Amino acid sequence: MAMTKSQIQTTLAQKTGLAKKQVVALFDELAKLAYREAKNSFTIAGIGKLVLVNRAARIGRNPATGEQIQIPAKKVVKFRVAKAAKVAILGK
């Protein structure tokens, strides 16, 4: 089962010796900073980075009718997992 946000914050508070309020404030500021800087790419070393990607226009298909539709180009936010995280999680 995945850890909740509160469980993560409690665990980090215990491991670092910080008060839970301080860990919560740190998470909030980290999120704000990531949102603000994502357009330039925002990296958290050892975990990954947020990047903006331009997705090209393409032709899709309506699954209900089978009709082809034009999907317009747009910007999307992607998270690229760091190699260190892949190695730590998957091994090798």
Domain containing 60 equals 41-92
Task: Tell me: do 24 and 53 sit in the same domain.
Answer: no
Task: Tell me: do 45 and 89 sit in the same domain.
Answer: yes
pLDDT for position 92:
77
Domain CATH number, residue 79: 4.10.520.10
Task: Tell me: do 53 and 23 sit in the same domain.
Answer: no
Provide φ and ψ at 3, rounded to 5°. Answer: -75, 145
* Number of domains comprising the chain: 2
In this prediction the pTM is 0.74
Task: Tell me: do 59 and 28 sit in the same domain.
Answer: no
- Alpha carbon of 45 to those of 65, 87, 89: distances in Å? 45, 14, 15
b or e along 14-35 (b: 16 or more beta carbons within 10 Å of the residue's beta carbon)? eeeeeeeeebbeeeeeeeeeee
pLDDT along the chain (92 residues), means of 10: 93 95 95 92 94 94 93 95 94 82
Task: Tell me: do 21 and 61 sit in the same domain.
Answer: no
